[in-house]
Structure 1
Amino acid sequence: MNLNDQPRPWQLARRAEAMNPSAIREILKVTERPGILNFAGGLPSPETFPVAAMHAACAAILGEGSSIAKPSLQYAASEGLPELREWVATEMGKQGATVSPDQVLITTGSQQGLDLIAKVLIDAGAPVMVETPTYLGALQAFTPMEPHIESVDSDGEGVLPEALRKQLAAMPERPRFMYLLPNFQNPTGRTMPEARREAVLAVCREFGLPVVEDNPYGELWFDQAPPRPLLARWPEGVIYLGSFSKILAPGLRLGYVIAPSALYPKLLQAKQAADLHTPGFNQRLVAEVIRDGFLDQHVPTIRTRYHAQRDAMVSALTRELGPTGATWTEPKGGMFIWVRLPEGLNAQALLPAAVDAGMAFVPGAPFYARDPDMRTLRLSFVTSTPEQIDRGMAALAQVIREALSR
């Protein structure tokens, strides 16, 4: 018998065939080479990790005589630690959103929240709407469910309301939801202002289009806090995602979903099927760290640090890339700057030369659901010193000049 005629022992599911590797994770492998200045990763600065506070919290949880030492190492409720759920509800109340702890589901990072939402809400062929461009990780979470992803025209303030209305009016089927990052968006860094939020939600209400609001960067504002969340404006029509990764430490893998009561049970069931519960020790660790208002002192130090790094990168871009004809955003918070190269250049094609010159970025194409702008790229400024930023932007400018000369 010809072995090539034998059936394969493993047959991949159709959804597995649709899965793709993260372009960012693949690029990060390149940045492990010695001497590469890494502006590609969406990693918080390790200098902001509250190691001493974590150490003290571990000692309090596991110390001799602790009443929570053994419970913290035991299986836990799928919904999450009650103290954390209450804390989330209280914090959302400060932003104008009325939230019950019973609406809060603690997740293993907010990325798991995207996965659960996709499993619960998306059928094969169902339409889903996203910004242009949008978060790559969301596209990765949605794609295995085989939706038809519709990308809505957007500008520097986010989704264009009239473009959204025109697309919805022409669609034969109502989309399952619209995915939005209103604050310091990944990848562009843009923030949706007050008037745009109201206008976009007015269209969503008009067509009965639910919204998934992802807000991992909202606390990382520089000069002024962003407008009220969408959840505060339309509580019955919005699912909200939050994270502790950017304000404490991403290695804890701790996030949360706030869902309308009618939807919560199905998200909980999907969570139970995925991992039973988010690690209980990590939840108790975070609850111990934040219970006495620690974040009120800690988060402003992150804002100050990132603000200075943003300023350093904008200054370097102005000096180095400005003369080439490139343009870029100037975010009011968050971690990213979005660059558009001069006409005729392709960021993906430019990446190998940039790496050879000693720096790495993320090409913009993977952030588009369709029709990518090949001139775009994303830079992260939060893990580099001003001196490293200066060297990296000088290297990028030289690569651009050489490409233009060809």
Structure 2
Amino acid sequence: MTVTETAATAPVPPLAARAIAVGGSPVRDILAVTARREVINFAGGLPAPGLFDREGIAAAYRAVLDAEPERALQYSTTEGEPTLRTALAARTAARGLATGADDLIVTTGSQQALSLLATALVEPGDTVLVEDPCYLAALQVFSFAGARIVPVPCDDAGLDPSALDALVARERPKLLYTVPTFQNPTGRTLPAERRAAVAEVAARRGLWLIEDDPYGELRFEGERVPWVASYPGAEDRTVLLGSLSKVMAPGMRLGWLRAPAALRRACAVAKQAADLHTPTVNQLAAARYLADSDLDAHVARVAAVYGERRDAMLAGLAEALPSGSTWNRPDGGMFLWARLPDGYDATALLPSVVRHDVAYVPGAPFHAASPDPSTLRLCFVTQTPEEIGEGLRRLGAGLAGRWDE
């Protein structure tokens, strides 16, 4: 039989069901569509690139590669480089939560930490509680794990502990995922008394807590609220996630998790299967930066600029959004949350807005259950106050359908 006479090639087996069922990120899709330089983009969750400490980070890499190139370019331990873990533990302890280097695992961004936790904790069909609305990539992670995702009712201050208590009693969930400080997407911060109540519910009902804190250091007004992990009842059941992405550089892809010993070991095994370890050179450069530079001073400078940019956005929203719209005033972080009047659909309006060379993220994808089509997320940190003013002018024209601008 010749090659041309062979039978038709059989199709390859199908993709896993979860790869088909879980969609991509609408934020990533919007960023791809609006990548043109002329677009003023309020859609991304990107730190301001002009504020990166390029010289300090470059000096850290040079120092590491000059002093110990063999180590920097070699494989490392799964749990992370001891020098970086020690530095991160010291920063965590200084903020009120006793932590040693062995309590931490360094991850390839805190997003990987979330994926490792889903692998270690969630069986298909397990119930996971999330805030309403919730960080979009967390919804993706838990969906990939096969979880049943149930939103906890929230108000302007964050999740309602009484509603949480009732849901835990009824749904028997495995865990609660929360971003209590400058939440993504809303920018809101959970008050101290609610944090204490969440810890109490978790202890009394038997519940894991995943406390994600990528934005907590970016405060530009008000007093810091302690981590949920520091409240009575939360000690043996809370995983705290941290990140250098928003305070140093997201391209370094450095995050970490602080977890009880048994769960930490399970996450280490999951990480071995995922990527063996986070890049050594990045870890050593970050440790060197923390030793040689004043990260707290850098963060304070960044937060001051972000505060000015938040104020610029707040100053122009009343004119940009339709009459009857509402929005919040975050004390830090990168986002604010707006709600258009009844009858407005932020998703349907987005194409018109993009034609005016400005973009936002509709709020609907951030909801695990019933979306609110009138909501939208605005990132205020990437552009200058002047660019924000122009972007809001374009936003107002796009929402009003004006083409004579």
TM-score (normalised: structure 1):
0.94
C-alpha separation in 2, matches of 1:40 and 1:310? 15
CA 400–325 in structure 1, closer or farther in 2 if over 3 Å, else same: farther
Match of 2:350 in 1: 351
Alignment partner of 1:371 is 2:370:
yes
Q: Give the Å deviation of 1:249.
A: 0.4
Matches within 5 A, 1:85-104: 85-104=85-104
Q: CA RMSD in A?
A: 1.7
Deviations 1:326-354 (A, max 9, x none): 11111000000111011101000000000
Equivalent residues of 1:168, 1:207 under 8 A apart: yes
Q: Distance in 1 between matches of 2:21 and 2:362?
A: 21
Q: Is the 8 A contact 1:62 1:69 kept in 2?
A: yes
User: Matched residues in 2 for 1:168 and 1:286: separation?
Assistant: 40
In the other structure, the counterpart of 1:13 is 16
Instruction: Report the Cα offset of residue 204 of structure 1.
Output: 1.9
Whether the 8 Å contact between 1:363 and 1:378 is mirrored in structure 2 is yes
The answer for the alignment partner of 1:180 in structure 2 is: 178
Return the offset for 1:225. 4.1
Q: Does 2:28 match 1:25?
A: yes
Contact 2:352 2:399 in 1 (8 A): no
Tell me if structure 1 keeps the 8 A contact 2:56–2:293: no
User: Contact between 1:139 and 1:369, CA under 8 Å: does it hold in 2?
Assistant: yes
For residue 97 of structure 1, report the CA deviation from its aligned partner: 1.2
Partner of 1:50: 53
Q: 2:246 maps to what in 1?
A: 246
Q: What displacement does 1:272 show?
A: 0.5
SS in 1 for 2:33: helix
The answer for unaligned runs of 5 or more in structure 2 is 1-5
For 1:308, what is the secondary structure of its paired residue? helix
| 1:243, distance to aligned residue in structure 2 (A) | 0.3
Partner of 1:266: 266
Cα distance in 1 between the residues matched to 2:280 and 2:317:
44
Question: 223-232 or 80-89: which moved more?
Answer: 223-232
Contact 2:353 2:395 in 1 (8 A): yes
2-structure distance, mates of 1:14, 1:385: 44
Whole-angstrom CA distance in 1 between matches of 2:106 and 2:299: 21
How far the C-alpha of 1:148 sits from its partner, in A, is 0.6
2:230 to 211, 229, 232: 232
Q: Do the aligned partners of 1:247 and 1:299 also contact (CA within 8 Å) in 2?
A: yes
Contact 2:56 2:289 in 1 (8 A): yes
Quote the Cα distance in structure 2 between the aligned partners of 1:243 and 1:18: 29
CA-CA distance at 1:201 after TM superposition: 1.9
Q: Which amino acid aligns with 2:108?
A: T
Deviates more, 1:79-88 or 1:90-99: 90-99
Give me the whole-angstrom Cα distance separating, in 1, the residues matched to 2:32 and 2:399: 23
Letter of the 1:192 counterpart: L
Residues 84-115 of structure 1: per-residue CA shift (max 9 Å, x gap)? 11112211212221222111000000000011
Q: Would you say the 8 A contact 2:355–2:398 is kept in 1?
A: no
Q: After TM superposition, give the deviation of residue 248 of structure 1 in Å.
A: 0.5
- Specify the alignment match of 1:278 in structure 2: 278
Distance 1:49 1:10 in 2: 46
Structure 2: which amino acid aligns with 1:94?
A: A
Query: Is the 1:339–1:378 contact (alpha carbons within 8 Å) kept by the matching residues of 2?
Result: yes
Which range is displaced more, 391-400 or 140-149?
391-400
For structure 1, which runs of at least 5 residues remain unmatched after alignment? Answer: none
**Distance in 2 (alpha carbons) for counterparts of 1:84 and 1:112:** 17
Query: Quick one: distance in 1 between partners of 2:45 and 2:166?
Result: 33
1:222 to 195, 220, 233: 220
- The amino acid across from 1:147 in the alignment is A
Q: For residues 86 and 370 of structure 2, what CA distance do their matches in structure 1 show?
A: 43
| Aligned residue pairs, count | 395
> Would the aligned equivalents of 2:187 and 2:332 in 1 still touch at CA under 8 Å?
yes
Report the 3-state secondary structure (helix = DSSP H, G, I; strand = E; otherwise coil) of the residue aligned with 2:286: helix
Amino acid at match of 2:324: G
Q: CA deviation at 1:398?
A: 2.6
1:190 shift after superposition: 0.2
CA contact (8 A) 1:105 1:257 kept: yes
* Counterpart secondary structure, 2:378: strand
Matched letter for residue 179 of structure 1: Y
Q: Deviations over 1:170-226 (max 9, x none)?
A: 22xx21110000110000000011111112222222211110000000000002342
Cα separation, 1, equivalents of 2:215 and 2:81 = 23
Q: Are 1:72 and 1:284, in contact at CA under 8 Å, matched by a contact in 2?
A: yes
TM-score, normalised by the number of residues in structure 2: 0.94
* Percentage of identical aligned residues: 45
Provide Cα deviations, 1:92-142, integer angstroms capped at 9, x if missing partner: 212221222111000000000011011111111110000000100111111
Q: Is the 8 A contact 2:122 2:147 kept in 1?
A: yes
Instruction: Answer yes or no: is the 8 Å Cα contact 2:87–2:290 preserved in 1.
Output: no
Matches within 5 A, 1:156-195: 156-171=156-171, 174-195=172-193
8 Å CA contact 1:212, 1:238 repeated in 2:
yes
Residue 296 (structure 1) shift? 2.2
Q: Secondary structure at the match of 2:242?
A: strand
Indicate conservation of the 8 Å contact 2:134/2:366, yes or no.
yes
CA contact (8 A) 1:183 1:226 kept: no
- Provide the residue aligned with 1:382 in structure 2: 381
- How many Å apart are 1:17 and its aligned residue? 2.0
Q: Which deviates further from its counterpart, 188-197 or 17-26?
A: 17-26
| Cα offsets for 1:46-93 (capped at 9, x unmatched) | 012111011211221122xx2x21100000011101111111221121
Which structure 1 residue ranges, 4+ long, deviate > 3 Å from structure 2? none
Match for residue 338 of structure 1?
Answer: 337
Distance 1:352 1:15 in 2: 29
Compared CA separation, residues 93 and 271, structure 1 to 2 (3 A): same
Q: 6-15 vs 381-390, which deviates more?
A: 6-15
